[in-house]
Structure 1
Amino acid sequence: MTAAVTALPQGSASDRNSLVKPAGLVMLVVLLVALCFLSVAVGTRDVSWAEIAAALQGQVSSIGEAAVAMRIPRTLLAALAGGALGLTGALMQGVTRNPLADPGILGVNMGASLAVVIGLAWFGMSMAAAYVWTAILGAGAAAVFVYIIGSLGRDGATPLKLALAGAATSVALSSFTVAVVLPRNDIAGGVRSWQIGGVGGATFDTIQLVLPFLLLGFLISLISARKLNMLALGDDLAAGLGEKVALARATAGVGAILLCGATTAACGPIGFVGLVVPHLCRLMVGVDHRWLLPFSALSGASLLLLADVLGRVIARPSELAVGVITAFIGAPFFIWIVRRQRVREL
């Protein structure tokens, strides 16, 4: 009798727990939609609801409607880029089992940035599609380089060695980028503005260009969720359970590189989103990547939209680039993680 009585509340608690994650996902979707409306409505110029409604219907007869029409692609790009960066951070942390893994900290952003700058300065790159491919190749080369350097020596690729290799590589690539740009006054201004990271110049053409790469990256990432759960058990145990460890890492890595490279090509190197978001999402849903990845994508999109709106409001009538806002948020968070986690494995 006692067992039967205690079984009921346990089952009820289990049912409640099984509803928490889907409910949280729905809440994040609602928050994302609300932030999209906020992003369209708020800016350096005040607009009325009538102008917003008219602009959403394609009308641009007034200055307010034109302002809203310019914010629409900006909002879409911010959501896509934030989702991609949040997802990339979760993937990189899962692949490396490193709580400090992030496209910026591991040098992947700077690899993409340097590749684009070299293409502009030395090869006269002008085709829009070439920017995306070049950024993806640069991101991939930087990721492979950091992982190889971090794997040298005893104990292989430990979280601390990867973080140090990524930080050193990021500084070196940043210096190379400056060296390439300095003699080229014709591109220096545009490159410096792009390197801050922002979504202010978004257009539908830009979104159409990077969207296939982002969608492919999202698909590969979600397919990798189960593989990342296996990797979290440790390489030996994952291999013992039949998982091909190298292939699992490579698959998730390709998804991360596609997402990071395409985002960097469109927005510039935006840092810390991939670091902050996965940690916050683990507090909500735990370490199961089947939930962590979609939560990270939605949370990253929400964070970047919020940062973009704050950048417009704080510096009115001017704007702060979204990369500046995310750096203000992420830098203290990075210090907190280092102090709390002591750079141990996930």
Structure 2
Amino acid sequence: MKNTFTKHAGKGMWFFLIAAGFLLAFAASIVFGQTPITVEQAVNAFVSYDENSTEHIVVRSDRLPRAVIASVIGASLAVAGTFMQALTQNPMASPSIFGINQGAIFSVVIGVVLFSVSSLAALTGLAFLGAAAAAVIVYFLGSLGRDGLTPVKIVLAGAAISALFQSYTQGILVLDEAGLQDVLFWLAGSVSGRTLDMLLPVLPFIGTALVGAMFMGKAVNLLVTGEDIAKGMGQHVAALKALMGIIVVLLAGSSVAVVGAVGFIGLVIPHVARFFAGSDYRWVIPYAAMLGAVLLVSADVLARLLIMPQEVPIGVMTAMVGGPFFVYIARKGVSQV
């Protein structure tokens, strides 16, 4: 009993420290950028807003929205990756690696370029549809053959579908170069220029998916021990897998609809979360959400500071971390999920 209490206390302490790091990253996102803003000015922008103050306008109209959006999307992508790795028993699973992000982007491009769709609600629906289609196709292809679903086959299927959707997207844009400007918003993968109005339509989906995920830790623990054991413990494995898949689609589709394709968060963060929290998904899932928010907010701050006054695309910043990490996982053959 004492050892259990000590273990939970240790995990709680790490979570508290990570949460403190998130608050620091969020504050840095409000203060740092092309327009210098002091901490006092940032605080006054909320407690005594002056519409004639450039600094206050920047804080309220630009810095706060992108910090909030980066936090929510970072958490969403991290939890989506955590569920994908548990669902497929594959340490390299993530929305970007398995083509889910690319499927969502492809649907958005078709809607914008071919059908002149401009409504955010419609584009969100298209992103969900593309993400779901990619997930189903990858899962089906990875399950073909005598051995059924295996980590190697699903990685190959994900890489193939990702490349396929990417080539289709490029082909459409080549045929209609005028439409390129309309979809750069999503292709770039950035929180720059995003407003809270863009987040609000998908917030119910993200909120429902994240809250639901937080209560599924015990069920996921049973699933990763093996389907036979889970069934023996009374787990409805098919229903659980379907629910986890729906959550992944909601989180990944919503993320693409708001910020475009931001990769590698769903790959890296689940491993970092398990490093701190162990194998208990009752801890891993909230750890992943918090760490994902920290990573994307921090990446956004660095993206605007590195080559100021220009900004590095935030996808480049996450790739700088995720690319080497992907190679490390592939070489080491990490199997614990």
Q: What TM bracket, shorter-length normalisation?
A: over 0.9
User: Are the counterparts in 2 of residues 224 and 248 from structure 1 also a CA contact under 8 Å?
Assistant: no
User: Are the counterparts in 1 of residues 186 and 257 from structure 2 also a CA contact under 8 Å?
Assistant: no
* CA shift digits 1:197-250 (9 cap, x unpaired): 110022121121121111011123223322211111111221122111111111
Change in Cα spacing, 1:240 to 1:199, as seen in structure 2 (3 Å) is same
User: How far 1:329 sits from its partner (Å)?
Assistant: 0.9
Question: Which of these residues, 259, 274, 284, is aligned with residue 276 of structure 2?
Answer: 284
What is the alpha-carbon distance in structure 2 between the residues aligned to residue 345 and residue 66 of structure 1?
A: 47
Over alpha carbons, which structure has the higher Rg? Answer: 1
User: Are the counterparts in 2 of residues 224 and 251 from structure 1 also a CA contact under 8 Å?
Assistant: no
Aligned to 2:266: 274
Indicate yes or no: 2:256 matched with 1:257: no
User: How far 1:12 sits from its partner (Å)?
Assistant: 4.5
Comparing 122-131 with 303-312, greater Cα deviation is found at 122-131
What is the alpha-carbon distance in structure 2 between the residues aligned to residue 211 and residue 123 of structure 1?
A: 25
Question: Which of these residues, 56, 79, 83, is aligned with residue 65 of structure 1?
Answer: 56
What is the alpha-carbon distance in structure 2 between the residues aligned to residue 123 and residue 277 of structure 1?
A: 36
User: How far 1:162 sits from its partner (Å)?
Assistant: 0.6
Q: What does 1:119-268 align with in structure 2 at a 5 Å threshold?
A: 119-268=111-260
Question: Match of 1:105, SS?
Answer: coil
Aligned to 1:25: 15
* CA shift digits 1:244-301 (9 cap, x unpaired): 1111111111111101100110000110000000001111111111110000000000
What is the alpha-carbon distance in structure 2 between the residues aligned to residue 90 and residue 49 of structure 1?
A: 35
**Identity across the alignment (%):** 37
Question: Which of these residues, 5, 16, 27, is aligned with residue 6 of structure 2?
Answer: 16
Indicate yes or no: 2:287 matched with 1:295: yes
- Structure 2 letter corresponding to 1:219: V
Q: Name stretches of at least 5 consecutive residues in structure 2 with no aligned partner.
A: none
Residue-pair matches, total: 335
What is the alpha-carbon distance in structure 2 between the residues aligned to residue 149 and residue 178 of structure 1?
A: 23
User: Are the counterparts in 2 of residues 119 and 125 from structure 1 also a CA contact under 8 Å?
Assistant: yes
Aligned to 2:298: 306
- Structure 2 letter corresponding to 1:64: E
Comparing 71-80 with 214-223, greater Cα deviation is found at 214-223
Aligned to 2:314: 322
What is the alpha-carbon distance in structure 2 between the residues aligned to residue 326 and residue 14 of structure 1?
A: 35
User: Are the counterparts in 2 of residues 39 and 309 from structure 1 also a CA contact under 8 Å?
Assistant: yes
Question: Which of these residues, 32, 36, 58, is aligned with residue 46 of structure 1?
Answer: 36
What is the alpha-carbon distance in structure 1 between the residues aligned to residue 273 and residue 279 of structure 2?
A: 9
User: How far 1:28 sits from its partner (Å)?
Assistant: 1.8
What is the alpha-carbon distance in structure 1 between the residues aligned to residue 58 and residue 52 of structure 2?
A: 11
Structure 2 length-normalised TM: 0.96
What is the alpha-carbon distance in structure 2 between the residues aligned to residue 13 and residue 290 of structure 1?
A: 18
What is the alpha-carbon distance in structure 1 between the residues aligned to residue 94 and residue 327 of structure 2?
A: 14
Indicate yes or no: 2:118 matched with 1:118: no
User: Are the counterparts in 2 of residues 220 and 251 from structure 1 also a CA contact under 8 Å?
Assistant: no
